[in-house]
Every structure is written in C-alpha cells, then in structure tokens.
Amino acid sequence: MMGTLTKQEFRFLEESCRFVAGEAQVEDTISLGSLMENGTKSYLEKVQHALGTEEMDVAASLLMKRLGFLAVNCLLSMTVFNKTLKVDPSTIWIDSYVENDIWLPKLRYTEVQALEATTFENREAWRQHHFLELFGGIFTPLINRMAKVAQVSRQTLWENIMLYVYWMYESIVPKLEMDAPYQEEDFNSILKADPSIFGLRRNPAATFYKPKTFVEKHQAEIRVRTTCCYYYKTNSEGSRCSTCPLDCNVK
C-alpha cells in the first residue's frame, strides 16, 4: 500500500535535498519523461546558456551532477525514513532556479507517494525494487540518452551521480539526529547491486568507490574522481572540484 511522507520528512527534504512538491513556481520546467524522450537536445541547449558554456557535453555532465540530488532524496528517504519514494519520469520535474548567479535546479514531484519496507517480505526485496525503479527506470535511460545526444562518457555521468550517493552515506546520514540502523546495510546493497540495473557490465557504485588518498593541495584524505566532470569549464576562474583528477597530485 502506498503512503506518503510526514510533514517533518517533507520539510527535511525541502531544506536539505533540493526537493519540492506540487505545482511549478517557475516557467522553465521539464519532466524527466520529456527529457528522456524528445526534449534532450533542446533542454541541454538551455542548460548551456544557464551555465555559460558552448559545449553540450559540459552541459550534460553538469546537469547530471544537479540530478544527483534525486538519488540523495530517494536514498535518504529509504535509509532514514524507511520509505522509498515512487519514481515516475512523468511526475518528477526539473525546475530551473538561479541562486547567487549559479544555476541550481530543484526536483519537483507532482505526486509524492512512498512505499514502506513493511510492505515487502524483507528489506532486501524492498530495496531491490527501489533500485530497479530509481537506477534502472530513471538514471539508466536518462544517462544513455545524454551520452548519445551530448557525446559524453557514460562513466562520467554515472560518477557524477555516485559521488552524491557516497557523500550522503558517509557525510550526511552520520550527522543526522535520527536513527538510521540500516545505513551500512543499505549502502552495501547498492555497492553489490546487479550491474544490469545500471545498463552496464560493472556496477558503477562499486567501480568508483575507491579508497580515499591524501591530497597534498587540500591537506586531506579525498576520494579522487576517476573522470573530470568539466566544472572548470563553467566558471571564469577555471576552478576545479576538490576531487578533480586533473588537479589532485596524490601521494
């Protein structure tokens, strides 16, 4: 039986995960279904303009980084609230917002439905059902489409998503004042998920989950990316991410 989120759960996702619900408050919006099917090129051209780049592969990569928050709000709901959000490409929209001159879209659900773990025989069956919907039903076709239209590596796009997954489980959930007894179990289940869910021969969650290494420039232990996300091409200073493989001399 489908339920929904509590007011407190709604508020947490709104404040922390770029999550909104209901009717659009901005004119520039597109459903994930439309983006996958026939609006990819035209929408990426809008993203190019918003980011100030002439390169479509850059726009596709940065768009997928922004969409990493879809994985965050879904997986955080699963692990912390014990509820998986129903993910339907026709009911999830990208609403464009600019904050401090930075394009930071929000993910809007026109319908918010949630499935509790108790509706399945066991937690693993419930998790796998959600992984198939989220990764197999949303991210895999979206990434495949982006890679084809923008001529950008699927590896780069998947790594953009997975870094947000790692960040959520390693940095966000442990700091929450909420019980999350299944944190490690849920995360390990993602790392061990069948690669076919991702449309690849290898599970990208496991592929990019490399040990952190000391980076002298940042004087910190960092999980350095395997691929570059092209962020440096969207700012006038040419600044790179702290995890950029082009900027980290690992010792």
User: Model confidence over 136-183: pLDDT tens digits?
Assistant: 999 999 999 999 999 999 999 999 999 999 999 999 999 998 889 999
User: Model confidence over 193-214: pLDDT tens digits?
Assistant: 999 999 999 999 999 999 999 8
Class at the top of the CATH hierarchy for domain 2-209 = mainly alpha
pTM over 0.85: yes
Q: How confident is the model at residue 216 (pLDDT cuts 50, 70, 90)?
A: confident
157 Cβ contact partners less than 8 Å away, ≥ 6 residues apart:
60, 61, 64, 143, 146, 147
Ranges of each domain in the chain: 2-209, 211-251
| pLDDT at 249 (0 to 100) | 57
Cα–Cα distance measured from residue 160 to residue 205, given in angstroms and rounded to the nearest whole number: 11
Higher model confidence: residue 216 or residue 173? 173
User: Model confidence over 94-129: pLDDT tens digits?
Assistant: 999 998 888 999 999 999 999 998 888 899 999 999
